[in-house]
Amino acid sequence: MWSYTFRRVLATIPTLLAVITVCYLLLHLTPGGPFDGERKVSAAVLANLQAKYHLDLPLWQQYLYYIKSLLQGDLGASFRYADWSVNDLVGKALPVSAAIGGGAIVISLFIGVALGIVAALRQNSIIDYLVMLLGNIGGAFPSFVLGPVLVMVFAIGLEWLPAGGWDDFSLRYMVLPMALLVFINISTIGRVMRGSMIEVLGSNFIRTARAKGLPMRTIVLRHALKPALMPVVSVIGPLAISSITAAVVTETVFGLPGLGKLIVNGAANRDYTLVLGLVVLVTVITVVLNLLVDLAYALLDPKIRY
């Protein structure tokens, strides 16, 4: 296990390095520098400024400086928001995204697994179809269509909840964004859970458990649940990546001050360093998340040899 863990951790380094390098080079492809502005700065001042930020060095040395500061956890300064470093902006935005995204994933795991089990137990019945139809709504409609529709129904039509905005983790403002993410996630989780549950319920050890006369409840919870959950664990990684897309859209739809909103605003303002910093940060998060899921999978599934 340890050597497997070590190898997997090592394997993430090329991915991270490749993404950072490509993004960094892309940034340098664009014309213009940070100090090209309306107001002309005198040549001497410009030289000083460039020396301060190492912009006078050859590209590979600048790159090494950038990697060094990344390793120290510094994502650089923002181009547009004066006096703000990317770290400060991330520090304010990350908790919002984490609360919404993390909360949504946990809730959708519970709901999706429950829906999958119910649908599997009543396979091809009306309940099965209803459950899957409910799950498919999230899968069939793009998030940026479903989001406004949710707002239209629950905020504008029924006036139950605010249409958007953020009020210091107040639950009222978190319900609709989380509902949207949950809707999207449960279609995947529910479908995977249903399929694997049906497969597990058809296997020999379940037949044995039935033959022993165990009640269905015990069979499902004690015997079938664990093996049936394995495929669900394996989709958490891809789900996390698609959740990032969904989160960017969700935060735009509901005007939440999270990472997604930050990156979209950064892109609109052409705040290069902010966007680069966020891309690097989110790439690290997803790669680490994928790594953890893989390790958890290896730990949980005795069939995997490493």
Residue 153 touching another protein (CB under 8 A): no
Residues 250, 181 contacting (CB under 8 angstroms): yes
Compute the least distance from the CB of residue 68 to another protein, in Å: 21
Residue carrying the six token digits 């989709």:
235
Q: Residue 166: which residues within 8 A CB-CB, separation 6 or more?
A: 96, 173, 255, 256, 257
Query: Of residues 30, 42, 72, 124, which one binds another protein by CB under 8 A?
Result: 30
Query: Of residues 47, 106, 156, 216, which one binds another protein by CB under 8 A?
Result: 156
Instruction: State the DSSP H helix or E strand holding residue 112, giving kind and residue range, or none if neither.
Output: helix 86-121
Residue 119 touching another protein (CB under 8 A): no
Identify the sign of the CA torsion 134, 135, 137, 140: negative
Query: Of residues 93, 151, 182, 219, which one binds another protein by CB under 8 A?
Result: 151
Closest to 193 measured CA to CA, from 138, 233, 142: 233
Residue 266 touching another protein (CB under 8 A): yes
Residue 235 touching another protein (CB under 8 A): no
Instruction: State the DSSP H helix or E strand holding residue 174, giving kind and residue range, or none if neither.
Output: helix 171-201
What is the distance of C-alpha 19 from the center of its chain?
Answer: 17
Which residue, 121 or 285, has its beta carbon nearer to another protein? Answer: 285
Which residue, 219 or 275, has its beta carbon nearer to another protein? Answer: 275
Interface with another protein (CB under 8 A): 12, 14-15, 18-19, 23, 26-27, 29-30, 140-142, 144-145, 147-149, 151-152, 156, 163, 241, 244-245, 248-249, 252-253, 263-264, 266-268, 270, 272, 275-276, 278-279, 282-283, 286-287, 290
